[in-house]
Amino acid sequence: MNKLAPETLTLPADHQYGFPNALLPVLVYRGAVKIKDPETGAQSFEALFARNGWLPAWRYHLYDFHHFHTTAHEALGVFRGHAKARLGGPSGIDIVLEKGDVLVLPAGVGHKSLEASDDFCMVGAYPEGQTPDLKRGDPATLDDALVQTAAVPLPEHAPLGGALAFLWGGEP
């Protein structure tokens, strides 16, 4: 179990731009993995996520357009560089991500890169059995997106270990 306590950010639905966001908080683990070398750092995130039931799916940067997923929660592990991201859609909040950080996004939370170092790269992972779609925010489909994201099952474990339900407001 990971003893590192995450920062939590709760982002309400953005009705103006059509981003459902979530009642569940975004989890931000600062310096979750100590990285000396990017390749071994990426492998460390992949192994850690997989041990906890979050299947690594890609190594890439963060898209530079607002988007969210209605069918999956997402874990992002930064293994190289740094970036400034916006969470919650166009009227959301900005956060800086650095090498070693992990960001856990509940289904529906908007995210986008505002700026990044040239070498910025992350590992992306999703709970076993969940496959992400890609939505860009649309006020006309917000009600459907709210229903879809609320129906995404909670995984048993957080991507860094421990009971995710406890971190997301449930029982330990």
Burial 131-157 (b: 16+ CB within 10 A, else e): ebeebebeeeebeebbebbeebebbeb
Residue 170: what pLDDT? 59
CA 127 to CA 134: how far, in whole Å?
16
Residue 4: what pLDDT? 78
CATH of 7-167, picked from 3.90.1150.10, 3.40.50.720, 2.60.120.10, 3.40.640.10, is 2.60.120.10
Q: Is 116 helix (H, G, I), strand (E, B) or coil?
A: strand
Rg (CA), the chain: 15
Residue ranges, the chain, pLDDT below 50: 1, 171-172
Q: How far is CA 27 from CA 6, 8, 40, 103, 139, in A?
A: 6, 5, 23, 6, 26
54 touches 127 (CB < 8 A): yes
Domain residue spans of the chain: 7-167
For 132-164, write each residue's pLDDT tens digit.
Answer: 999 999 999 999 999 999 999 999 999 999 888
CA 103 to CA 32: how far, in whole Å?
10
**Rounded to 5 degrees, what are φ and ψ at 147?**
-65, -45
